[in-house]
Structure 1
Amino acid sequence: MTARIGVVTFPGSLDDRDAQRAIRLAGAEAVALWHGDHDLQGVDAVVLPGGFSYGDYLRCGAIAAQAPIMHEIVAAANAGMPVLGICNGFQILVEAHLLPGGLIRNEAGAFVCRDQTLRVENATTAWTHGFEQGDLITVPLKNGEGGFIADAETLKRLEGEGLVAFRYVDVNPNGSLDDIAGLTNERGNVVGLMPHPEHATEPGFGPDTPSAMRSGVDGLTFFRSVIERTLAAV
């Protein structure tokens, strides 16, 4: 049996094809989903990809969070379906209230593009259980509005309940509070992060590692984790 993972395309999506390729490299079937539809086509999990959905008007992800497909995704996520939001997808998850907090303009006021070291803080989610807690991974990052914010009470809850999924290491590229790079919900099926694991899935095209240039494939673990979790649930 092959897991089927949907990737939503919004107007302005840039990394939907990259996410589809990552899914195929991990061993699942990638299913293209359209923002204007109400049909999830029976997928086992969903990826909200990076880009500039609806031109990032109002706030990044604010319009996309109201797209027809998101009504189905919110309901499915609340019922336990794994959902991964990458960069703009993370912003959409926050705007859809599937994850808390907010994402604002980078602290330095500039777009940032770099290979980013992350520490895995929660290795129990549908998308991260292939890691060990404390693992250091390298994933490309590219964003202009990736600064994570939340009020003091929310931050205390996120830290106290283990809902921080990833944290920036060495460099905080966008001024995120508590160096937060990604979150999970309480159930562990919804994960959002600003860096791009789909860009670290194929030798020759990933981040540099001590072994070789462009050899980093840490992102594959995200997709292999959810494949294993969804197949185990069948």
Structure 2
Amino acid sequence: MRIGVVTFPGSLDDGDAARAARLAGAEAVRLWHGDPDLHGVDAVVLPGGFSYGDYLRCGAIARFAPVMESIIDAARGGLPVLGICNGFQVLCEAHLLPGALTRNQHLHFRNRDQWLKVEATNTAWTNGFTPGQEILIPVKNGEGCYVADPATLDRLEAEGRVIARYINGNPNGSQRDIAGITNEAGNVVGIMPHPEHAVEALTGPSLDGLGFFTSVLRALAGSSAAGSQAGGQQ
């Protein structure tokens, strides 16, 4: 399986995301922001960083990159897409996910290991976890406060689209302790903490982040198997 990792001007964690994909067992394919060709990848990661210098708003310019036009179309067609930190911001700006990420309530940058509770495990990126599982992955953001209007928040809750919540302290003031969400189809996920920084014992703080990358490989393998069975029945 081929996981594409986008590089925008200002991306910081694209190399880490590519390494996490390889550790999970995938082939990492580097995608350039100015090239609309997705090169046949099976899934895409929008990494953390400061795309286009965070000018206007975080992710606001990246949303219009040529590669994003292709990703938006592909995501609406079912391509699994994971947005991490700045990538989560880009997904919201692109309206693939609802809500927005704003300045941390305390107006300080936060960089620490953070406990999360996984809630939705029916997505392409979280199916390897169990509901209620607690995981430890790093968080590092200055504009990671998830906000949305009450109706949107209620809809996310009712539809089971909150994939993870902060526990043992909310690092940025996100409403309802939301750390990550998914779209209705479950193929697009945005998460503010950094699972790609929790994939090796050497750098820690855990191996919990690897589950996001192995989950998408499981989802893709399941889709391939279902497609083969359907083809054989025709």
Partner residue, 1:17: 15
SS of equivalent residue, structure 2 residue 135:
strand
Q: Distance in 1 between matches of 2:187 and 2:41?
A: 14
State the one-letter code of the partner of 2:131: Q
Q: Distance in 2 between matches of 1:26 and 1:152?
A: 37
Partner residue, 1:64: 62
Give identity over the alignment, percent.
67
Q: Distance in 1 between matches of 2:125 and 2:14?
A: 18
Counterparts of 1:125-140 in structure 2 under 5 Å? 125-140=123-138
Unaligned runs of 5+ in 2: 225-234
Partner residue, 2:34: 36
Cα displacement string for residues 130-169 of structure 1 (whole angstroms, at most 9, x for unaligned residues):
0001000001000000000000110110111111011000
State the one-letter code of the partner of 1:232: G
Q: Distance in 2 between matches of 1:187 and 1:232?
A: 16
The two structures have a TM-score, normalised by structure 2, of 0.95
SS of equivalent residue, structure 1 residue 118:
strand
Q: Does 2:89 match 1:99?
A: no
Cα displacement string for residues 10-35 of structure 1 (whole angstroms, at most 9, x for unaligned residues):
00000000000000001000000000
State the one-letter code of the partner of 1:230: L
Q: Distance in 1 between matches of 2:66 and 2:221?
A: 27
Partner residue, 2:177: 179
Q: Distance in 2 between matches of 1:203 and 1:61?
A: 31
The two structures have a TM-score, normalised by structure 1, of 0.95
State the one-letter code of the partner of 1:154: T
How far residue 8 of structure 1 moved from its aligned partner, in angstroms, is 0.2
Partner residue, 1:211: none
Unaligned runs of 5+ in 1: 208-215
Q: How many pairs align?
A: 224
State the one-letter code of the partner of 1:85: G
CA RMSD of aligned residues (A): 0.5
Of residues 47, 53, 65 in structure 2, which corresponds to 1:49? 47
SS of equivalent residue, structure 1 residue 233:
helix
Q: Distance in 1 between matches of 2:157 and 2:142?
A: 25
Partner residue, 1:113: 111
How far residue 232 of structure 1 moved from its aligned partner, in angstroms, is 2.0
Q: Distance in 2 between matches of 1:141 and 1:134?
A: 19
How far residue 227 of structure 1 moved from its aligned partner, in angstroms, is 0.7
Cα displacement string for residues 58-103 of structure 1 (whole angstroms, at most 9, x for unaligned residues):
0000000010000000000000010000000000000000000011
Of residues 142, 146, 149 in structure 2, which corresponds to 1:148? 146
Of residues 207, 215, 219 in structure 2, which corresponds to 1:229? 219
Of residues 204, 207, 228 in structure 2, which corresponds to 1:206? 204
State the one-letter code of the partner of 2:81: V
Q: Distance in 2 between matches of 1:22 and 1:138?
A: 16
SS of equivalent residue, structure 1 residue 192:
strand
| Bigger helix fraction | 2
State the one-letter code of the partner of 1:226: V
State the one-letter code of the partner of 2:4: G
Q: Distance in 2 between matches of 1:60 and 1:206?
A: 27
